[in-house]
Amino acid sequence: MKRLVLFDGDCNFCDSSVQFIIKRDPVAHFQFTSLQSDVGIKTVKEYSIPSDVDSLLLIENGKAFTKSSAALRIAKKLDGLWHLLFILILVPRPIRDFFYDYFASNRYKWFGKKDDSCALPTPEVRERFL
């Protein structure tokens, strides 16, 4: 089964992160949907995700991973040296998530929100979005 990445569809940084993942995931390990989509809303309810998770979520092997755990598990599957970041999983989650939450809480201020226009993906990339 594919891994499902849920992301904040209103966030410029989150959108750029999805594009970053796609470019480094030629095997297509990941599928994507925004947290605001019908699939995203259903998935959040299905996995009882806390309301403070509003930027990134990974569903892998029937388990939900949030915040820094999700980001590191995604990095683990990317081409290049990105998989080496997974070593940071050894840092206790409260410490990792402290830095993750700081960044996530400032993402709109630093990178802005998306407007209503967006680039159309290729058919191959479009197939990876639910």
pLDDT tens, position by position, 24-37? 999 999 999 999 99
The predicted structure's pLDDT at residue 2: 81
pLDDT tens, position by position, 65-120? 999 999 999 999 999 999 999 999 999 999 999 999 999 999 989 988 877 555 55
Burial 85-117 (b: 16+ CB within 10 A, else e): eeeeeeeeeeebbeebeeebeebeeeeeeeeee
- Full-model pTM: 0.85
Q: Could you tell me which of 38, 70, 37 has the C-alpha nearest to residue 53? A: 70
In contact, 52 and 26? CB cutoff 8 Å: no
Q: How far, rounded to the nearest angstrom, does the alpha carbon of residue 59 sit from its chain's CA centroid?
A: 10
